[in-house]
Amino acid sequence: MKIARYALEGAVEYGILEEGGMRRAKGNPYDGLEILDEVVDLRTLRLLSPSLPGKAVCIGLNYRDHAEEFGLPIPASPV
């Protein structure tokens, strides 16, 4: 299943990409999608970036001080 985010008639939606077009869906892939019966022609919509993350979560093991603090080996390259 290929999930896509797109704009159609001023609204941003998620859908399922199929050979015959984009099957519309309600909701989003993070909270659950309700797949609808309607299929939209790909020429009538505009594909968008896959998601809009609300935040980035990172860990600090690529920083020398953090690795040394916890007695971990120093990575040869950033991780």
The pLDDT score that the predictor gives to residue 52 is 73
In a domain, 76, yes or no: no
Q: Please choose, from the candidates 57, 74, 55, 56, the residue with its C-alpha nearest in 3D space to the C-alpha of residue 65.
A: 74
Segment holding 65, helix H or strand E: helix 64-69
> What local confidence, expressed as pLDDT, does residue 61 receive?
57
pTM confidence score: 0.63
Over the chain (79 residues), the average pLDDT of each successive run of 10 is: 94 94 93 94 94 74 75 77
Q: What range does the domain containing 21 cover?
A: 2-69
pLDDT at 43: 95
CATH of the domain at 9: 2.30.30.370
How many folded domains does the chain comprise? Answer: 1
